Amino acid sequence: MRKITATVICLAIVSLVVAGTDSCAASPVDPYVDEVVDFWGGVSGFLGGWDKGNYNIPVSPDVALGAPDGWFVSITPGDWIIFAFTDNTMIDGPGPDIAIREIGNNAGQEKVEIWVSAVNDGVQFTSLGIIASQGWETNPTLYLDLADIGFTDPVGYVKVTDGVGGAAPGFDLDSIKAVNAGEVNVEADIDFDPDTLNLKGKGRWATVYIELPDGYDVGEIDASTVLLEDAISPVQDQKYGFVAYDDSYVVDHDGDGIMERMLKFLRSEVHAIVTPGVYNFKVSGELEDGTEFEGYSDPITVIDPAQKAKQERLKHVGPSSGSNADLGVPARVRVSYGVSSARVPADRTNPVEVSRPSSSALSSHRFPLVSADETLSPERFQDLNPPMNMQRGGEVSWPRGPSCPPR
């Protein structure tokens, strides 16, 4: 499990440009602009048409959404349209990054300026450049590259402005495509409560607070899509106020002025998938528009008091199997009278006490083991009287009989 600090992750899917056409090879998303966010087409609105000769008719800027279909909107001086990618972004990848299809064959007479804005912005735009057809090709596809302006943020918005030229008149826009596109994955900040998870505790809930980057509304999180560790769904029973009422589940838990989405999980279900240790719990899900998010909590300590009590006992008794080798305390190997062997930890570097009961009292011999290699050395056990033999792996033995190691 891990902690990620990036705000947006994008997977580049590079499309191929073949014989003057572009195609997004094996892309898992629709690479074309999906939504008109805002526009200005003058007092009378936009004109446009269809490339079979029907033009200069009123159209909606929505005709430029999706894949090329011959329908276009004419962009004239003073006009502008802001488009958004909702299921993908555009990033700076190999070659050109954006493809603009124009209707017509006006040999550079029709021009338009293209602007871009980051995925979480949509307000501040940077000019990517002015495009125009370079020859008499009919319905050309024109390209621009984010690298030309050093724009490195994932692009979520494209603005088209101030078209000129042509008989329609203006730049006749058919479609806009992200050549280098990828799925959007918003990185969330996750607060998991409690900070210490007691596997023997009686608490009913484990609570998660989800905070999203600027530009995203936690009130739009679809609780039915949320998973903890890709396995556990939150409680969604409407009988609980924290499920039914948004003023109960949209809160500012950490008091930083940014709202979080609160979700509760059955603690028993969380207990079932963890063991004692330290975890960065993963939480993932979707917004109502399908935008995916994920994030990881700060380190959460999982404890089991029953196991801790057992370890405390092992510090004093020590199992003959040597399973307490990493407890950081001296180990003791108890050997019953007349039994010829017992095991000690093979990787023990702490002092080790080897003891064996005699007919009258418990006799023992204590010596330091300086390194892990020495714990595997039979010679370390030859100093005892009578000699004790250690085999590789930690087996200790000495002859049967009443004699025992010196006190």
Has this prediction a pTM greater than 0.75? no
Vertex 70, ends 90 and 158: CA angle to 5°?
25
Yes or no: say if 241 and 248 are a contact pair by the CB < 8 Å rule: yes
Q: How far apart are CA 35 and CA 86, in angstroms?
A: 7
CA nearest to 161, candidates 127, 116, 98, 112: 112
Write down all domains in the chain, each with its CATH number in brackets: 10-184 (2.60.120.260), 188-303 (2.60.40), 305-397 (no CATH)
ω into residue 94 within 30 of 0, thus cis? no
Yes or no: say if 274 and 1 are a contact pair by the CB < 8 Å rule: no
* Residue 167: predicted pLDDT: 54
CB neighbourhood size of 165 (10 A): 21
* Residue 311: predicted pLDDT: 58
Yes or no: say if 132 and 117 are a contact pair by the CB < 8 Å rule: no
Using 70 as the pLDDT threshold, list the residues of the chain that sit under it.
Answer: 1-29, 52, 106-108, 135, 165-168, 183-184, 308-407
DSSP state of 268: H
CA nearest to 89, candidates 17, 43, 32, 48: 32
Yes or no: say if 40 and 78 are a contact pair by the CB < 8 Å rule: yes
CA nearest to 299, candidates 280, 286, 320, 317: 280
